[in-house]
Amino acid sequence: MLKVQNLTKLFEKNRAVSGATFDVARGELICLLGPSGCGKSTLLRMIAGLALPDAGRIDIDGKDVTEAQANRRPTAMVFQSHALWNHMTVAQNVAFGLRVQGLPKPEIAEKVAAALTLVGLDGFARRRPAELSGGQAQRVALARCLVVEPKVLLMDEPFSALDAHLRANLREELKALQRRLRLTTIFVTHDQEEAMELADRIVVMHAGRIEQIGRPGDLYLEPQTLTVARFIGQMNEATVTLKAGRADWLGQPVALPAPDGPVTLLCRPEDLQRDRAGIDVRVTRVIDLGPMIRVTVATDEGAALTWVCGREGQPQTGAPLTLRPSRLLAYRDGQRLGTAAPVANRIMAERV
């Protein structure tokens, strides 16, 4: 449906977006995820035609639109600031795209009413944007895009100005609507929870480059680069030296079939388990998050680790513990090297 190839945008010689390549299938919802300034909004604006790329190619539905301006592309965008026109009523806002297309008046009225129903705003047609709440305004902005039946719907952090509770509700509604109408959607966000919840696939961006494209679960379990691993979820990180396929991670011997050299090993907090054969640590802080407990511990050498556990068996601050990583992700030069497995600690084994 949408094909982006090698898209590049320069900003005064810096590359705002560099060689972005990905596909979006019909009816798919893709999230562009990354920290602010990573180029995700610029990438979206290039797809919309609001910014022209310095290099690369964009195809929509098999048609090259790289050099087409925004008003000649079958895309419609929902802006972060909702960008409603306050000199028009809600209905006039929604009707704008249809008026531009030159549709007859009765047809416009019909379609506008249908679009407002779709976003749950029956009876709001004559209101002014100034009389709407933040959530309602963003629904109108969505209706304004849906009514022109765009081939690709673009959303630039549409919910980030709203409060958390409302954001969660709108997210769910959007997902349901998108499934029902089979809308091809690109959704930009810096909020990984939002991306995980909404996306069929996530495109993780960093410093203008695409780091990884994958399903939400895959990104979490198998981050392909160190940047993605650090950005998504929490990690316990230490860089160690690998020698003859063995290394020592904070006192835990691990095996990794790879050439000798420095290697960064990361372990998710939930991949640490209490095990008598493991790393000796002392609890420094216990944080009750409700459904689970987050525990910060320190090794004898002073390295800090984060561990999560259930409510039962909750440790006390200062208590000694032995933790064993079950799964460690290994990276060298920022790229994935493999998965390191812990091996039995010989001394410990002898002691037992």
Minimal distance, residue 174 CB to other proteins, in Å: 18
Q: What is the DSSP string of 118-185?
A: HTT-TT-TT--GGGS-HHHHHHHHHHHHHTT--SEEEEESTTTTS-HHHHHHHHHHHHHHHHHHT--E
Among 48, 116, 205, 219, binds other proteins (CB under 8 A): 48
Minimal distance, residue 16 CB to other proteins, in Å: 13
Give the span between the Cα atoms of 309 and 294, in whole angstroms.
Answer: 7
286 CB-contact burial (10 Å; exposed 0-12 / middle 13-18 / buried 19+): middle
Asked if 160 is part of the footprint of other proteins (rule: CB under 8 A), the reply reads no
Give the full edge-to-edge strand order of the sheet including 328-332: 236-242, 261-267, 328-332, 335-342, 252-255, 246-249
* Cα→Cα distances 191→78, 161, 165, 207, 208, Å: 17, 12, 14, 17, 17
Closest CB to other proteins among residues 80, 234: 80
Site string for other proteins, 75-94 (x = CB under 8 A): xxx-xxx-x-xxx-------
Among 34, 39, 53, 216, binds other proteins (CB under 8 A): 53
Closest CB to other proteins among residues 144, 268: 144
Q: Both ends of the chain: CA-CA distance in Å?
A: 61
Torsion sign across C-alpha atoms 36, 200, 154, 44: positive
Asked if 71 is part of the footprint of other proteins (rule: CB under 8 A), the reply reads yes
Asked if 70 is part of the footprint of other proteins (rule: CB under 8 A), the reply reads yes
Site string for other proteins, 92-111 (x = CB under 8 A): ----xx--xx----------
Asked if 6 is part of the footprint of other proteins (rule: CB under 8 A), the reply reads yes
Query: How far does Cα 291 stand from its chain's mean position?
Result: 23
User: For 301, which DSSP code?
Assistant: T
Asked if 114 is part of the footprint of other proteins (rule: CB under 8 A), the reply reads no
Run of H or E including 335: strand 335-342
Give the span between the Cα atoms of 299 and 323, in whole angstroms.
Answer: 10
Q: Which stretch binds other proteins (CB under 8 A): 45-53, 111-119, 183-191, 209-217?
A: 45-53
- Contacts of residue 350, defined as CB under 8 A and 6 or more positions apart, other chains included, come to none
Q: Which stretch binds other proteins (CB under 8 A): 49-57, 115-123, 203-211, 233-241?
A: 49-57
Asked if 52 is part of the footprint of other proteins (rule: CB under 8 A), the reply reads yes
Asked if 69 is part of the footprint of other proteins (rule: CB under 8 A), the reply reads yes
Closest CB to other proteins among residues 48, 116: 48
Asked if 208 is part of the footprint of other proteins (rule: CB under 8 A), the reply reads no
Q: Which residues bind other proteins (CB under 8 A)?
A: 6, 8, 10, 19, 48-50, 52-57, 66-67, 69-72, 75-77, 79-81, 83, 85-87, 96-97, 100-101, 141, 144-145, 148
